[in-house]
């Protein structure tokens, strides 16, 4: 008889260690695929827009230049922002 060959030596807790190893392998594999897709994927570079560092006066000037504000609104808001009431 061939004692010890019937279970290929997988007695004890080795099956649990193999299972944990497989779960770890697949977790690392999936994480790697996700990381590659996030870095090289078609939606890379789509981040949340960062707030502009323009001052309130600069924004007011831009809005006036685009015609969003009348001259009276521009003058009123500029004096309000500059503190010259």
Q: Assess whether 42 and 59 both reside in one domain.
A: no
The answer on pLDDT for 10 being more than 80 is no
The larger pLDDT score, comparing residue 42 to residue 12, is at: 42
Tell me the pLDDT tens digit for each residue of 40-64.
Answer: 877 665 666 656 556 888 999 999 9
Q: Which domain holds residue 33?
A: 1-47
> Is-above-0.85 flag for pTM?
no
Q: Assess whether 42 and 4 both reside in one domain.
A: yes
Q: Assess whether 2 and 43 both reside in one domain.
A: yes
Q: Assess whether 42 and 56 both reside in one domain.
A: no
Average pLDDT in the chain: 81
Task: Show contacts of 65-70: CB within 8 Å, 24+ apart.
Answer: none
The pLDDT of residue 24 is 97
Q: What angle do CA 21, 26, 29 make, to 5 degrees?
A: 125
Q: Assess whether 6 and 42 both reside in one domain.
A: yes
The answer on pLDDT for 1 being more than 60 is no
Q: Assess whether 57 and 81 both reside in one domain.
A: yes
């Amino acid at each position: 008889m061939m004692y010890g060959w019937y279970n290929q030596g997988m007695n004890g807790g080795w099956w649990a260690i193999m299972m944990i190893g497989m779960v770890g392998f697949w977790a690392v594999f999936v994480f790697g695929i996700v990381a590659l897709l996030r870095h090289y994927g078609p939606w890379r570079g789509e981040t949340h827009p960062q707030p502009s560092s323009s001052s309130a006066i600069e924004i007011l000037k831009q809005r006036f230049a685009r015609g969003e504000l009348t001259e009276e609104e521009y003058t009123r808001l500029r004096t309000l922002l500059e503190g010259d009431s």
